[in-house]
Amino acid sequence: MGKILIQGGTVVSATGRSAADVLIDGETIAGVLAPGQAETFGVTAASDVRIIDATGKYVVPGGVDVHTHMELPFGGTFASDTFETGTVAAAWGGVTTIVDFAVQRTGESVQDGLADWHAKAAGNCAIDYGFHQIIGGVDADSLKAMTYLVDNEGVTSFKLFMAYPGVFYSDDGQILRAMQNAGESGAMIMMHAENGIAIDVLVAQALARGETDPKYHAFTRPAALEGEATNRAIQLARVAGNVPLYVVHMSASEALAEVAEARHRGQNVFAETCPQYLYLSIEDQLARPGFEGAKWVCSTPLRSKHEHHHRDLWKGLRMNELAVVSTDHCPFCMKDQKELGLGDFSKIPNGIGSVEHRMELLYQGVVNGEITLERWVETCSTTPARIFGLYPTKGVTAPGADADVLIWDPDGHTSIGLKKKHHMNMDHSAWEGFEVDGKVDTVLSRGSIVVEDDTFTGTKGHGRYVKRGLSSYLV
């Protein structure tokens, strides 16, 4: 692998933008140079250097999506993207690193769960990947395993669930024990914050009334129960000793308010939202006639466009109350998968496919005046890399960093849809008909061009497992 010079573009970071050239040597960035400075590095027209013309384009760090679920078993089926198809789709969307979730359910071994995910991913990924660990059964063995994974496996974050009783659910005592354990090792606790015990009552009552359509998925998971669970998680983290807490897939203003208050008083609390909670709604998607709304069944659920959730989440991104935009990419086909819930919304596999479109959809937020160009880079690349121990190898365009680069064309256009731009392994698109004023131009993963000229040029197995360190935000 030789040298590449990305020339003539505007390099955008979390803190600013400037005209600069990016010199790549092998798998890493050798220099971010003032225009014309490349000659001092021996780069001339006659030298053996591949020149990429980025005139009029933005050069940004490759996207870091720290919340994906490839091949996840859920609701009697599996997420439809494999690590191969899912990481190829991610590359098409300018994403160069994912962090997926290894699974341990009650009664299972944590180490066995991690080994299963390594087996699924090894040799199959087109881009780099890491793992969080889901802890579905908190006991003495799993607590011991948590410390081992931090010290030896590069897994430094653990996801707990306040929802899904009987599958992943942990009670408050188990959560407190896991948080105390994480506090000793410096690990991050990730929380699915919904009151699953109360939700199960509401679901049973709705079904008893004959309310079976997909829209009732949202009505039985009210925003108040997301806010309540978020507050409970924050207080447990506080009692455990200001243990770092990361609240996943936030959809509700009530939950955001709890995070904002905790951050203002100095707690180590972070939160992410996802594109679906910024753009989609019960009325426009989930409540469509018949069974079509099943396409948009996910948890936490979509919220009403007539309330203030969309507006507040965008504001949270501007004010850094929300630190990260991830996808919670968990795709299912309608046929034979979502259709498992025909006549019973509670049996619809929960998940939306978005890994290909996060960078695109959030860039549209820049165009629409919701966030700045720098904040786009910060929430989609730099901050997730910093929170989850990937920085400064990932999430930044700087000497010594991996040459993970997205060249973005602001004058291009992207039409999303099944017969337009769609590379995820799904029989529908949750983003059908969305238009983006901008376009993925070229994507490099560790110095290898993986997308160029509307063509995937990468290879299965190029992606490597990345051992992660502790969060950069914690002292």
Residue 139 CA to residue 29 CA, distance in Å, equals 44
Per-residue pLDDT band at 39 (split at 50, 70, 90): confident
**What pTM, to 2 d.p., does this model score?**
0.97
Element (H, E) at 202: helix 196-208
Give the chain's domain count. Answer: 2
Residue type, 216: Y
Instruction: Decide: 248 and 272 in contact? Cβ < 8 Å.
Output: yes
- Per-residue model confidence (pLDDT) at position 42: 72
Q: Is residue 469 part of a domain?
A: no
Whether 24 and 68 share a structural domain: no
CB within 8 Å of 398: residues ≥ 6 apart = 29, 32, 392
Q: Is residue 470 part of a domain?
A: no
- Per-residue model confidence (pLDDT) at position 1: 66
Residue 187 CA to residue 176 CA, distance in Å, equals 14
User: What range defines the domain where residue 219 resides?
Assistant: 62-387
- Per-residue model confidence (pLDDT) at position 166: 85
- pLDDT over threshold 80, residue 54: yes
* Average of per-residue pLDDT across 158-183: 96
Whether 52 and 67 share a structural domain: no
Q: Is residue 366 part of a domain?
A: yes
Tens of pLDDT, residue by residue over 198-222, are 999 999 999 999 999 999 999 999 9
- Per-residue model confidence (pLDDT) at position 172: 98
- Per-residue model confidence (pLDDT) at position 335: 97
Tell me which residue of 232, 386, 247 sits closest to 321, measured CA to CA: 247
Q: Is residue 427 part of a domain?
A: no
Q: Count of H helices and E strands in the chain?
A: 13, 23
Per-residue pLDDT band at 40 (split at 50, 70, 90): confident
Residue 95 CA to residue 92 CA, distance in Å, equals 7
Whether 38 and 84 share a structural domain: no
Instruction: Decide: 462 and 125 in contact? Cβ < 8 Å.
Output: yes
Question: In 253-381, where does DSSP find H-type helix?
Answer: 253-264, 275-279, 309-319, 358-367, 373-377
Whether 287 and 337 share a structural domain: yes
- Per-residue model confidence (pLDDT) at position 405: 98
Whether 198 and 340 share a structural domain: yes
Per-residue pLDDT band at 280 (split at 50, 70, 90): very high
- Per-residue model confidence (pLDDT) at position 198: 98
- Per-residue model confidence (pLDDT) at position 105: 82
What CATH number is associated with residue 145? 3.20.20.140
* Average of per-residue pLDDT across 400-419: 98
